């Protein structure tokens, strides 16, 4: 890339400073401690109702809201939100049709194109950058980090249709009911492959066969209730001795594993074997009752009598998990972490968990989000995004509030903010798999394990925020290599060094401001950091832009100024840390 040497040095210094800031100020010491941190807000505080009429937002407030609820704001989306207000925006998003990833993969398959992991990556980038149903896609992505199936698994990488269907199931669940989402996931071929209960057989002592326990364990530990009993506000329940209480034991796992026996591919007459038709990879699994465990099954205080059929047994099990008192706070807190802040107060978690239970949330315009049925995700999403803590402008200066902006969201934000129109990636190797640390160190739906890219309670060693009792999940994938890798990666795309017409930005608005460094930085501040750029970063960026006085390497002076301004902001701690 042709950037003036002194400017390049400044960029690299900025990245080094960013790494130090993140590790010192935003991470946390310890390890994988899943214990919720102490918080200054009393867990007994009553839920705060939204203020009716508090629906209008400024440009900076709109940009911040869209940062939390979409794959990144643009000037157009900010203006639109300011025009219609928060409640109307949410209502409009709730009724938009889902834009399907599976459809894209099936069209490629029908056209005779080779379909594989590259198509999965491309469909995600296209939906994240171009889809009109931004809120659904964004919440679906958040859910995909809780209920994880990953095509890092070689079997799913080789079954893009099954994986694309799973991605659609998760995205549909963003506005559906959580109970239905659990059912759709359970009958998903992709999840059955990933957690190894596809063609899971009943026990047979003669053949030394026992039911696979993988899904039974993970649906409890990760997808619904967690390891330890919680209060409604997300804090731990304690026994008489002041110790945490486990939600389940190994007997529960063994018994629940019997429930998930007998499922196999649709469109087959036989239980075992591979699917005969492509549609089997996206149709719900079917139950072969002759392979389902017929005995009684007792778990989590529920007993399924002997002889109950497989589908009914699964329904009873999912009802038990869905109605468990842990599910609302366990899922609510993680969604808050993925969308708004890593360390929500107990009161924030309580309000969202209550919305989960009620299936309804009163929005600022006086209308309800949700159907009134427990687990309605529209109520949960509205409660998260409209909560007083999420919308309070003062929290932008609160060091205990906010989250690390994960790498995938940084890239999609850049693409949306600067008008990327073409999203094919066949000739862009960097986007086919962004998992390596010299790229983004993260690829959507390609986490290294069922535990996601990072744990919700991750606490990184030796940091100020850790000493303050705060978690920072995204720092589990933040390393010295990934900090510089991200800077190099985004630098190439900002300047168009990907050598492709695809993912080409439009900087027309920015180029008109290139003569006025202060105006350019302020403009970018509104789009990228919702007016929260620190004085130090603003001053440093203006100085760097003004230091560029000529064109070089095929770029004009103004183009180089715009590139430098965007890069400086997008590698600053002000951008990486969302508050």
Instruction: Write out the two tokens for 250.
Output: 């190994």
Residue pointed to by tokens 């529960």: 252
Sign of CA dihedral 171, 174, 175, 178: positive
DSSP-derived secondary structure for 305-355: PTT--HHHHHHHHHHHHHHSTTHHHHHHHHHHHHHT-SS--HHHHHHHHHH
Instruction: Write out the two tokens for 146.
Output: 């809780």
d(CA 555, CA 497): 11
Instruction: Write out the two tokens for 539.
Output: 């001053």
Q: How far out from the chain centre does Cα 323 lie?
A: 24
Q: Where are the beta strands (DSSP E) in 374-417?
A: 403-404
Helices (H), 187-279: 189-194, 214-221, 250-259
d(CA 578, CA 489): 20
Task: Print the SS3 string covering 76-143.
Answer: HHHHHHHHHCHHHHHHHHHCCCCCCHHHHHHHHHHCCCCCCHHHHHHHHHHHHHHCCCHHHHHHHHHH
Question: pLDDT digit of tens for each residue in the chain (579 aa)?
Answer: 344 344 444 444 444 444 444 444 443 333 333 333 333 333 334 444 444 446 999 999 999 999 999 999 999 999 999 999 999 999 999 999 999 999 989 988 888 887 889 999 999 999 999 999 999 999 999 999 999 999 999 999 999 999 999 999 999 999 999 999 999 999 999 999 999 999 999 998 888 889 999 999 999 999 999 999 999 999 999 999 999 999 999 999 999 999 999 999 997 778 998 877 888 999 999 999 999 999 999 999 999 999 999 999 999 999 999 999 999 999 999 999 999 999 999 999 999 999 999 999 999 999 999 999 999 999 999 999 999 999 999 998 888 999 999 999 999 999 999 999 999 998 899 999 999 999 999 999 999 999 999 999 999 888 888 888 999 999 999 999 999 999 999 999 999 865 578 999 999 999 999 999 999 999 999 999 999 999 999 999 999 999 999 999 899 999 999 999 999 999 999 999 999
Category of 131 on φ-ψ map: left (φ > 0), alpha (ψ -120 to 50) or beta:
beta
- Provide φ and ψ at 404, rounded to 5°: -75, 130
| 204, 229 contact by CB (below 8 A) | no
- Provide φ and ψ at 376, rounded to 5°: -65, 115
Cβ burial, residue 5 (10 Å; 0-12/13-18/19+): exposed
Instruction: Write out the two tokens for 530.
Output: 């919702």
Per-residue pLDDT at 54: 67
| 322, 300 contact by CB (below 8 A) | no
Nearest to 189 by CA among 165, 213, 224, 157: 165
d(CA 266, CA 183): 16
Per-residue pLDDT at 530: 96
Residues forming beta bridges with residue 393, ordered by sequence position:
none
Element (H, E) at 485: helix 480-494
d(CA 348, CA 339): 13
Per-residue pLDDT at 160: 93
Nearest to 530 by CA among 65, 81, 76, 64: 64
| 20, 574 contact by CB (below 8 A) | no
* Secondary structure of residue 519 in the 3-state scheme: helix
**How long is the chain?**
579
- Provide φ and ψ at 303, rounded to 5°: -125, 125
| 95, 88 contact by CB (below 8 A) | no
Per-residue pLDDT at 465: 81
pLDDT in tens, 18-62: 444 444 444 333 333 333 333 333 333 444 444 444 699 999 999
C-alpha distance across the termini of the chain, in Å: 32
Nearest to 180 by CA among 378, 383, 372, 375: 375
CA distances from 373 to 86, 97, 178, 180, 363 (A): 23, 21, 10, 12, 17
Cβ burial, residue 271 (10 Å; 0-12/13-18/19+): middle
Per-residue pLDDT at 22: 47
Whole-number CA gyration radius for the chain? 24
pLDDT in tens, 421-446: 999 998 899 999 999 999 999 999 99
Q: Where are the domains of the chain?
A: 5-27+407-421+478-578, 101-132+149-221+248-323
What letter would DSSP give residue 26?
I
Per-residue pLDDT at 167: 97
- Provide φ and ψ at 299, rounded to 5°: -155, 145
Instruction: Write out the two tokens for 395.
Output: 């929290």
Instruction: Write out the two tokens for 113.
Output: 């194109």
Per-residue pLDDT at 264: 96
d(CA 570, CA 262): 50
Q: Where are the beta strands (DSSP E) in 347-416?
A: 361-362, 368-369, 403-404
Q: How many other β-carbons are positioned within 10 Å of the β-carbon of residue 171?
A: 25
Per-residue pLDDT at 499: 56
Instruction: Write out the two tokens for 185.
Output: 């996931």
d(CA 5, CA 25): 30
* Secondary structure of residue 264 in the 3-state scheme: strand
């Amino acid at each position: 890339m042709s950037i003036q040497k002194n400017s390049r040095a400044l960029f690299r210094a900025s990245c080094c400073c960013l790494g130090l800031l993140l590790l010192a100020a935003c991470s946390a010491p310890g390890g994988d401690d899943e214990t919720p941190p102490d918080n200054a807000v009393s867990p007994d505080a009553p839920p705060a109702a939204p203020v009716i009429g508090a629906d209008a937002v400024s440009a900076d407030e709109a940009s911040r809201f869209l940062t939390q609820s979409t794959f990144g704001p643009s000037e157009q989306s900010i203006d639109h939100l300011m025009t219609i207000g928060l409640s109307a925006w949410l209502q409009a998003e709730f009724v938009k049709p889902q834009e399907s990833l599976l459809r894209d993969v099936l069209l490629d398959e029908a056209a005779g194109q080779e379909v594989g992991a590259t198509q999965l990556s491309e469909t995600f980038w296209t939906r994240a950058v171009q889809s009109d149903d931004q809120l659904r896609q964004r919440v679906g992505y958040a859910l995909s980090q809780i209920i994880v199936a990953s095509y890092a698994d070689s079997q799913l990488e080789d079954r893009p249709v099954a994986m694309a269907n799973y991605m659609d199931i998760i995205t549909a669940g963003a506005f559906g009911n959580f109970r239905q989402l659990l059912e759709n996931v359970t009958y998903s071929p992709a999840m059955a492959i990933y957690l190894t209960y596809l063609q899971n057989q009943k026990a047979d002592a003669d053949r030394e066969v026992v039911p696979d326990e993988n899904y039974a364990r993970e649906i409890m530990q990760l997808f619904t209730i967690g390891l330890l009993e919680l209060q409604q506000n997300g804090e731990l329940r304690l026994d008489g001795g002041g110790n945490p209480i486990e939600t389940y034991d190994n007997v529960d796992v063994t018994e629940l594993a019997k429930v998930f026996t007998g499922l196999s591919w649709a469109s087959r007459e036989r239980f075992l074997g591979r699917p005969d038709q492509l549609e089997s990879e996206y149709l719900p699994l079917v139950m072969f009752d002759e392979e389902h465990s017929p005995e009684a099954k007792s778990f989590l205080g529920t007993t399924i009598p002997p002889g109950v059929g497989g589908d009914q047994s699964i329904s009873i099990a999912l009802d038990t998990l869905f109605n468990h008192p842990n599910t609302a706070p366990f899922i609510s807190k993680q969604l808050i972490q993925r969308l708004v802040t890593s360390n929500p107060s107990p009161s924030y978690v309580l309000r969202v968990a209550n919305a989960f239970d009620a299936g309804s949330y009163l929005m600022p315009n006086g209308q309800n989000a949700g159907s009134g049925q427990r687990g309605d995700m529209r109520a949960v999403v509205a409660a998260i995004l409209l909560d007083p803590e999420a919308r309070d402008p003062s929290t932008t200066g609160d060091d205990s509030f906010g989250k690390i902006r994960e790498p995938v969201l940084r890239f999609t934000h850049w693409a949306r903010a600067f008008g990327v129109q073409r999203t094919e990636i066949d000739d862009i190797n960097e986007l086919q798999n962004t998992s390596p640390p010299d790229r983004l160190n993260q690829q959507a739906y390609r986490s290294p394990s069922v535990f996601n890219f990072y744990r919700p309670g991750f606490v990184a060693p030796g940091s100020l925020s850790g000493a303050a009792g705060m978690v920072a999940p995204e720092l589990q994938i933040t390393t010295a290599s990934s900090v510089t890798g991200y800077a190099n990666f985004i630098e190439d795309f900002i300047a168009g060094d990907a050598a492709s017409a695809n993912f080409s930005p439009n900087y027309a608005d920015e180029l008109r401001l290139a003569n006025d460094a202060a105006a350019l930085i302020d403009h970018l501040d509104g789009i990228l950091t919702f007016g929260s750029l620190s004085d130090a970063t603003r001053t440093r960026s203006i100085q760097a832009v003004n230091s560029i006085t000529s064109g070089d390497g095929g770029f004009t002076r103004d183009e180089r100024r715009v590139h430098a301004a965007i890069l400086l902001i997008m590698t600053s701690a002000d951008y990486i840390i969302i508050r």
